[in-house]
Amino acid sequence: MDQNKQCPKCGQIDRTGFSSCKYCGTKYSALPVQLGLEYAPYYMRVGAFIIDALLFIIVVVAAFFLIPSSILEPIKEYFGVFYQLAIIIFDLFIRWMYFALMESSSTRGTLGKMFLGIRVTDMNGRRISFPRATGRFFSKLVSSLILGIGYLFPLFNTKKQALHDMMAGTVVVR
């Protein structure tokens, strides 16, 4: 009998057969290792992307109206001509933290992915680490090159991986 269990909290595969996870100590019921992963359809990935993009737009607009100009003006003066660059770097930092922290967490996905019931895993269906999620995030820059063709890869391969998924060794599953 297969004693492999997947911890519902940390996502690690436990082959010991004990009633608690050897990695995080969480007690769990026997959950079989998923042998055949159901890869998320392209439309679900696009939907999750749209949901996350809308969330970022709402946050940016809210921040624009909520941050008083008395705070923004000194920042503009300090950075001078590099103000726009500082905004771009700050935006990149926030997006990196959002995607890498969410996708490496026990939820294994951003709010958009969670809403649609999909998640990011390694090739075996396990939770990914923060460094791997970071690599996946920055690999999206490569997927964006040449008019975003890297994002169309899921339409043409059996594991429905985008270029950044291939680079990071990840898949998006239901």
pLDDT at residue number 27: 66
Q: How far is CA 139 from CA 96, 105, 158, 167, in A?
A: 11, 19, 20, 7
pLDDT at residue number 90: 87
pLDDT at residue number 63: 82
Question: Residue 77 above 80 pLDDT?
Answer: yes
Question: Residue 29 above 60 pLDDT?
Answer: no
Question: Residue 14 above 80 pLDDT?
Answer: no
Query: What is 90-111 written as a DSSP string?
Result: HHHHHHHHHHHHHHHSTT-S-H
Q: How many CB atoms lie within 10 A of CB 80?
A: 8
* Nearest residue to 29 via CA among 8, 13, 10, 45: 8
Question: Contact 117/76 with Cβ under 8 angstroms?
Answer: no
Question: Residue 36 above 70 pLDDT?
Answer: no
Query: What is 23-68 written as a DSSP string?
Result: TT--B-------SS--BPPHHHHHHHHHHHHHHHHHHHHHHHHHS-
Cβ contacts of 41 within 8 Å, gap of 6 or more: 160
* pLDDT tens digit sequence for 86-105: 888 988 999 999 999 999 99
pLDDT at residue number 4: 56
What's the rounded Cα separation, in Å, for the pair 15 and 7? 11
> Computed from CA positions of residues 62, 67, 69, 75, in that sequence, does the dihedral angle turn out positive or negative?
negative
Q: How many CB atoms lie within 10 A of CB 128?
A: 25
Any idea where the domains of the chain sit in the sequence? 1-33, 42-173
Beta bridge partners of 27: 20
Beta bridge partners of 6: 13
pLDDT at residue number 34: 46
